[in-house]
Amino acid sequence: MEAHEALRRHDHLLGDDHPRDGLARQAALVVAVIAAFLAVATFLANEAIKEAITGETKAADTTARLEANETKMTIADGNATVLAVIGAATKANVIKAQAQQAQIKRELAPIDRRLAREIEAVHADRDHAEDQHLNFELSAVALQIGIVLAGISILASRRWLLGAGGLCAVAGVGLLILGVVS
């Protein structure tokens, strides 16, 4: 027995003179369309959160490299200072330590600037992914509410519930589009 025939028999047994066939079909179509958008919103939300997590990992890795370079410079500074303060070292050794310190700083300075720019870029990408994730999650919530209202409209035989479900779906699709274009 097909679903619409079962629904018709149910209506007949209840003495319902106004079959819900038209409303049920419309609601089923609305639910199917909303479910398709919900699948897209869920997929995009998952992708956005993966991107945010990956971005945070990249930022942490880059920050660790920057801090390692800062540690190298601190050690070079300390070595030069220790040699100068102790005085037991020859003037040639102090000059050599200072030259080595300057060379380390020259080599690491451009790398540190590049790493700092990378960290800023990765943080910006991560923040963007988090914003997208929020839009996609809110979209999924609105679409789920739309599905529920459309489904209840059949049980309650209330067309306005179907309309409310459609409005929730429109809001959900709007948030989905906002997440994609932002």
pLDDT value at residue 107: 84
Closest CA to 171 of 134, 153, 137, 146: 146
Each residue of 71-126: pLDDT tens digit?
888 887 777 777 667 755 577 777 777 787 788 888 888 888 898 899 899 999 99
Question: What one-character DSSP code corresponds to residue 14?
Answer: T
What's the confidence (pLDDT) of residue 75? 83
Question: How much is the pTM?
Answer: 0.70
CA distance 62 to 126: 14
**Long-range Cβ pairs for the range 111-115 (8 Å, 24+):** 111/69, 112/66, 112/69, 112/70, 115/62, 115/65, 115/66, 115/69
pLDDT digits (tens, 9 = 90+) for 29-43: 999 999 999 999 999
Of how many residues is the chain composed? 182
Buried b (16+ CB within 10 A) or exposed e, 125-158: bbeebbebbebbbbbbbbbbbbbebbbebbeeee
